[in-house]
């Protein structure tokens, strides 16, 4: 049974975005399709696209297939095409751990056409590492290859000659079909001729620069720590004069371009690229006393969120694990802390405690110059004393 026009449109957009990502699917691909649809004035929801992909899988007789596998099947049946684009690649120096994780990523991801749910577990099994070690190494790989996701790091590794198909998959053909398609593309061959060494910094688009400047300003107003995605995006959208969904889409584009998982880190990296400092506004001092429990919770909260430059999903679980308090109890204390410090959110409260000496910088046990948010707060403290 042939695909409907809607199914052809969705699978075609998947193939187009995969092509721009070196030929492999990546986490967030389906969300990107919704953003593009909305920028064109459509009101499609992600669940509609997901339902459409399931219908395509049924027509192809596939079960539990990844997005990359569905797209590869569509290509083989002539229902869509993919134009693979590989830009300038970097050939960084990798340590033994990074190389082993990179090899495992190639072996796990390429046969499935890129990202799929469960690939982390498969990589842990292949390397013998725990989840945290794999995740930290993947972050390092993305930074060294200067790419937004692991799939592009794998493509770059083949293009720069760090990985070889014969070594990974043996000399017996065929290699995984996605790898064959990638390596036979003109852009891959051109990129493999002149791999660059060192680190080349990403450039932001004009739209990304405009949104980033406003978000960086709001980040400073919030004490240098990101807290509250929806509020932050709404404020920036109102200030710039563009729709909320367009601001969100631009931010997601920056996320893929810069390769950081936390919004606070993305904004500090953007500030470096733009040469714009995060000017931290320190909350005014209130004549309020805090008990030992409040101090303890705030110290562990600061240790959790300062390295990530603000809120991230799971920070509260980190605090719970350290203190063995219940989540409800910590939530109640956090609410009290925001009220007692006269701040708008817990991020500002953390800045309040550090800036007014309630948490000495030395207690955080962090390198100020290697921790962007802490450096920005310390610089603001210095200006406050002048």
64: confidence class by pLDDT, cuts 50, 70, 90: confident
Percent of the chain with pLDDT over 90: 52
The mean per-residue pLDDT over the stretch 214-233 comes to 93
Residue 81 lies in a domain: no
Looking at the structure, tell me whether residues 111 and 178 fall in a common domain. yes
Looking at the structure, tell me whether residues 189 and 103 fall in a common domain. yes
148: confidence class by pLDDT, cuts 50, 70, 90: confident
Residue 88 lies in a domain: no
145 pLDDT more than 80: yes
The mean per-residue pLDDT over the stretch 308-326 comes to 89
Percent of the chain with pLDDT over 70: 92
Top pLDDT among 46 and 162 is at 162
- pLDDT at residue number 159: 92
The mean per-residue pLDDT over the stretch 26-50 comes to 69
Looking at the structure, tell me whether residues 116 and 175 fall in a common domain. yes
pLDDT tens for 113-141 read 999 999 999 999 988 888 888 998 999 89
Looking at the structure, tell me whether residues 188 and 101 fall in a common domain. yes
Lowest mean pLDDT among 126-135, 172-181, 270-279, 372-381: 172-181
Looking at the structure, tell me whether residues 301 and 242 fall in a common domain. no
Cβ burial 77-110 (10 Å sphere, 16+ → b, else e) = eebbebebbbeebbbbebeeebebbbbbbbbbbb
- pLDDT at residue number 199: 47
172 pLDDT more than 60: no
Rounded distance, CA 266 to CA 268, Å? 6
Lowest mean pLDDT among 49-58, 77-86, 152-161: 49-58
The mean per-residue pLDDT over the stretch 10-28 comes to 91
- pLDDT at residue number 385: 67
Residue 120 lies in a domain: yes
Top pLDDT among 375 and 94 is at 375
pLDDT tens for 327-353 read 999 999 999 999 999 999 999 999 999
Structural domain ending residue among the three candidates 44, 76, 108: 76
Residue 86 lies in a domain: no
The mean per-residue pLDDT over the stretch 157-172 comes to 84
Residue 60 lies in a domain: yes
Looking at the structure, tell me whether residues 304 and 369 fall in a common domain. yes
Q: Tokens 């009101």 correspond to what residue?
A: 43
pLDDT tens for 79-105 read 999 999 998 788 888 888 889 999 999
Looking at the structure, tell me whether residues 210 and 170 fall in a common domain. no
Looking at the structure, tell me whether residues 298 and 335 fall in a common domain. yes
- pLDDT at residue number 144: 87
Structural domain ending residue among the three candidates 193, 216, 234: 193
44 pLDDT more than 60: no
Looking at the structure, tell me whether residues 237 and 167 fall in a common domain. no
Looking at the structure, tell me whether residues 189 and 100 fall in a common domain. yes
- pLDDT at residue number 227: 93
Residue 90 lies in a domain: no
Structural domain including 319 reads 292-385
**Side-chain half-sphere of 96: how many Cα atoms within 13 Å?**
0
Q: At what angle do helices 96-109 and 150-159 cross, to 10 degrees?
A: 100
Residue 182 lies in a domain: yes
Structural domain ending residue among the three candidates 136, 168, 193: 193
The mean of the pLDDT values for the chain is 88
- pLDDT at residue number 263: 86
Residue 236 lies in a domain: yes
362: which 2 tokens? 């030395």
Looking at the structure, tell me whether residues 263 and 296 fall in a common domain. no
Q: How many domains does the chain have?
A: 4
Looking at the structure, tell me whether residues 211 and 188 fall in a common domain. no
Q: Is the peptide bond before 174 cis (omega within 30 degrees of 0)?
A: yes
The mean per-residue pLDDT over the stretch 13-22 comes to 92
């Amino acid at each position: 049974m042939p695909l409907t026009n809607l199914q052809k449109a969705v699978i075609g957009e998947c193939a187009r975005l995969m092509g721009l990502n070196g030929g492999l699917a990546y986490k967030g691909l389906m969300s990107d399709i919704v953003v593009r649809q909305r920028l064109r004035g459509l009101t499609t929801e992600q669940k509609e696209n997901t339902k459409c992909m399931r219908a395509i899988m049924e027509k192809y007789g596939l079960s539990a297939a990844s997005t990359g596998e569905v797209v590869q099947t569509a290509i083989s049946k002539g229902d869509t095409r993919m134009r693979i684009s590989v830009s300038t690649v970097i050939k960084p120096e990798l340590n033994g751990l990074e190389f082993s994780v990179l090899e495992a990523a190639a072996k796990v991801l390429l046969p499935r056409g890129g990202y799929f749910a469960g690939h982390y577990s498969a990589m842990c099994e292949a390397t013998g590492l725990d989840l945290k070690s794999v995740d930290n190494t993947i972050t390092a790989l993305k930074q060294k290859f200067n790419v937004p996701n692991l799939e592009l790091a794998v493509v770059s590794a083949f293009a720069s000659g760090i990985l070889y198909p014969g070594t990974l998959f043996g000399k017996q053909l065929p290699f995984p079909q996605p790898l064959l398609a990638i390596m036979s593309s003109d852009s891959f061959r051109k990129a493999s001729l002149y791999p660059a060494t060192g680190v080349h910094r990403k450039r932001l688009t004009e739209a990304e620069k405009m949104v980033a400047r406003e978000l960086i300003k709001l980040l400073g107003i919030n004490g240098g720590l990101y807290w509250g995605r929806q509020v932050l995006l709404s404020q920036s959208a109102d200030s710039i004069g563009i729709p909320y969904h367009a601001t969100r889409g631009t931010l997601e584009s920056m996320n893929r371009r810069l390769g950081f998982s936390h919004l606070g880190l993305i904004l500090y990296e953007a500030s470096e690229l733009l040469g714009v400092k995060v000017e931290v506004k320190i909350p005014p001092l209130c004549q309020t006393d805090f008990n030992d429990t409040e101090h303890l919770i705030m110290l562990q909260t600061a240790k959790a969120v300062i390295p990530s430059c603000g809120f991230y999903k799971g920070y509260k679980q980190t605090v719970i694990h350290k203190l063995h308090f219940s989540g409800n109890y910590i939530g109640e204390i956090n609410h009290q802390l925001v009220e007692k410090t006269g701040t708008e959110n817990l991020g500002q409260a953390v800045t309040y405690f550090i800036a007014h000496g309630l948490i000495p910088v030395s207690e955080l046990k962090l390198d100020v110059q290697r921790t962007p948010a802490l450096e920005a707060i310390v610089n603001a403290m210095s200006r406050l004393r002048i």
